[in-house]
Chains A and B, each alone.
Chain A
């Protein structure tokens, strides 16, 4: 254990990394706007960007703060319905729909925090899931949102695919940047301390409730934006497709495969997930079994995920959340 913790780590958080990031992101924007990529390729890119956003947020909750939520689909469903109601029912633009999605999610997250933060660990996880299920039942029986038959998302004028792609990329970049900046800030120091020992953290003067709330609300807001875009692309939202546990399964897969507690992990995880899912579409019925088997294998042989293991083996770290890295010592 000592050896592992004391391993020298080079942190690539300097100018070169920043330049690489800017180069990658701007080339992705160029790809979006110039039409180099086919519509099909852009569809994949949109999925990857949205899954990165959701994965980063789940990782922020579970991997960095120790709040393992099984109910982030609550905000996905709320966002889907918010966008549908704003655009189809109230004839507003997509922008209004997304703003409504964020507003609804933030308000619900604030209310839920009063209930959920009384619990910790396993109890918190189960409670988040129960709340999401309860909302599914609510929407199944709510006449205004057409009960179980779902709501269509009819956006006029419908955005071009490259616009959706560029917007998703923006959301994704913002999500990664927010997570990174948050973890490097003073609040991030408090969050990392809470993960190691809640008692000691609060004895140091960390306001545990406020820190949890901050993370929970940020996660809800970003998950909502990503989900809103997702449902615009999909065109219809049902209670089952919005509030289903399968969203959380995807997020856990992405984060576990990529590397829990690393900022770069969900990026790798989302890319793998989208391609694996596409490949497995040829084997209906088997896809979930194979996804599950892959997850188990990764947990057994690479418990730190792909990025975590790579970083350890090669002795580097991208987007390090540590402000004072474990430098060489004799």
Chain B
């Protein structure tokens, strides 16, 4: 029990009458990589947006490090150590790369070791150090994604959520980004949730997985040794 870092219990969320996430339960262990896969519109993004406090839940609870964070606002959740790399990166385009990273260390807890963390992020992404004075809007898609990851790392999270990190990027860049995610996980013992549509890549990188379909978890288990036929059926709902 003490090894569980994030515990989602029958969480529901939606938009008006539409139920996007229907009583989803999920657990993430300390230092684990969990992948959350599913089709477009399965409710993956709504689920993690609700967990991160960007959206209000309609029911259920979220416990992080044993503490109930269900009703907290996004900024308080970040301060607790749960960071989200939103879909599409969402860099601050008119701010420099370094300002973007410094924004990541906005919370009080992160500010104490700001310089140290910044150095660490530049070590992990040496390309960013070379262009720290350039505006983020002038970078390529892959570079902006790196900025977004670096920015999330600046908050020194215990659990990192990546929302469709590979969206719109070339295979070579995706491979590079995955390599670094695994490195972050191994070095910092940061728990990671990967939201993906690319099933194989996500399963290869993760310890366990959840498949979502139409707002519900339809399959979950250990990532290794999952038989592809069962997975396909759950993924497409056939």
CB distance from B96 to the nearest CB of A (A): 5
CA distance A329 to B130 in the complex (A): 10
**Does residue B91 face the partner (Cβ distance < 8 Å to A)?**
yes
CB distance from B230 to the nearest CB of A (A): 35
CB-based contact B135/A6 at 8 Å: yes
**Does residue B102 face the partner (Cβ distance < 8 Å to A)?**
yes
CA distance A327 to B84 in the complex (A): 30
**Does residue B173 face the partner (Cβ distance < 8 Å to A)?**
no
Within 8 A of A (CB), among B51-68: 52-54
CB-based contact A204/B96 at 8 Å: no
Interface string of B76-101 (1 = CB under 8 A from A): 00110001101000111111101100
CB-based contact A204/B104 at 8 Å: yes
**Does residue B123 face the partner (Cβ distance < 8 Å to A)?**
no
Determine, out of A78-86, A110-118, A194-202, A216-224, the stretch whose residues face the partner at the interface. Answer: A194-202
Residues on A with beta carbons closer than 8 Å to the beta carbon of B73:
202, 207, 209
CB-based contact A329/B54 at 8 Å: no
Task: Return the chain B residue nearest A196 by Cβ.
Answer: B92
CB distance from A210 to the nearest CB of B (A): 9
**Does residue B169 face the partner (Cβ distance < 8 Å to A)?**
no
CA distance A197 to B74 in the complex (A): 14
CB-based contact A202/B75 at 8 Å: yes
Interface string of A170-189 (1 = CB under 8 A from B): 00000000000000001001
CB-based contact B99/A205 at 8 Å: no
Residues on A with beta carbons closer than 8 Å to the beta carbon of B94:
5, 192, 195-196
**Does residue A1 face the partner (Cβ distance < 8 Å to B)?**
yes
CB distance from B106 to the nearest CB of A (A): 4
CB distance from A322 to the nearest CB of B (A): 8
CA distance A186 to B107 in the complex (A): 11
Which of B86, B103, B110, B137 counts the most chain A CB atoms within 10 A? B103
**Does residue A20 face the partner (Cβ distance < 8 Å to B)?**
no
Residues on B with beta carbons closer than 8 Å to the beta carbon of A190:
103, 106
Number of interface residues of B (CB under 8 A): 36
Decide: A203 near B84, CB < 8 A? Known: A1-B137, A193-B92, A324-B98. yes
Residues on B with beta carbons closer than 8 Å to the beta carbon of A324:
95-96, 98-99, 133
Decide: A203 near B99, CB < 8 A? Known: A5-B94, A196-B93. no
Residues on A with beta carbons closer than 8 Å to the beta carbon of B216:
none
CB-based contact B137/A203 at 8 Å: no
**Does residue B138 face the partner (Cβ distance < 8 Å to A)?**
yes
CB-based contact B133/A326 at 8 Å: yes
Within 8 A of B (CB), among A40-60: none
CB-based contact A206/B106 at 8 Å: yes
CB-based contact B103/A201 at 8 Å: yes
CB-based contact B134/A329 at 8 Å: yes
**Does residue B19 face the partner (Cβ distance < 8 Å to A)?**
no
CB-based contact B86/A203 at 8 Å: yes
CA distance A324 to B97 in the complex (A): 10
Residues on A with beta carbons closer than 8 Å to the beta carbon of B53:
202
Decide: A203 near B138, CB < 8 A? Known: A189-B102, A192-B94. no
**Does residue B151 face the partner (Cβ distance < 8 Å to A)?**
yes
CA distance A207 to B92 in the complex (A): 16
CB-based contact B134/A200 at 8 Å: no
CA distance A204 to B90 in the complex (A): 11
Residues on B with beta carbons closer than 8 Å to the beta carbon of A209:
73
Residues on B with beta carbons closer than 8 Å to the beta carbon of A200:
86, 90-92, 148
**Does residue B131 face the partner (Cβ distance < 8 Å to A)?**
yes
Residues on B with beta carbons closer than 8 Å to the beta carbon of A323:
99
Task: Return the chain B residue nearest A190 by Cβ.
Answer: B106
**Does residue B34 face the partner (Cβ distance < 8 Å to A)?**
no
Task: Return the chain B residue nearest A200 by Cβ.
Answer: B90
Which of A186, A324, A329 counts the most chain B CB atoms within 10 A? A324
Task: Return the chain A residue nearest B161 by Cβ.
Answer: A203
CB-based contact A196/B133 at 8 Å: no
Further pairs besides A189-B99, A202-B73, A324-B133: 18, Cβ < 8 Å: A5-B94, A190-B103, A193-B95, A196-B92, A197-B92, A199-B54, A202-B74, A204-B78, A204-B106, A205-B75, A206-B75, A208-B75, A322-B95, A324-B96, A324-B98, A324-B99, A325-B96, A326-B135
A-B contact pairs, 16 of them (CB 8 A): A2-B137, A5-B137, A6-B135, A189-B99, A189-B102, A192-B92, A193-B103, A197-B91, A200-B86, A203-B52, A203-B74, A203-B90, A322-B96, A324-B133, A326-B135, A329-B133
Q: Please report B residues at the A interface, Cβ cutoff 8 Å.
A: 52-54, 73-75, 78-79, 83-84, 86, 90-96, 98-99, 102-104, 106-107, 110, 131, 133-135, 137-138, 148, 151-152, 155
- Shortest Cβ-Cβ A-B pairs, 4 listed: A200-B90, A205-B78, A205-B107, A196-B92
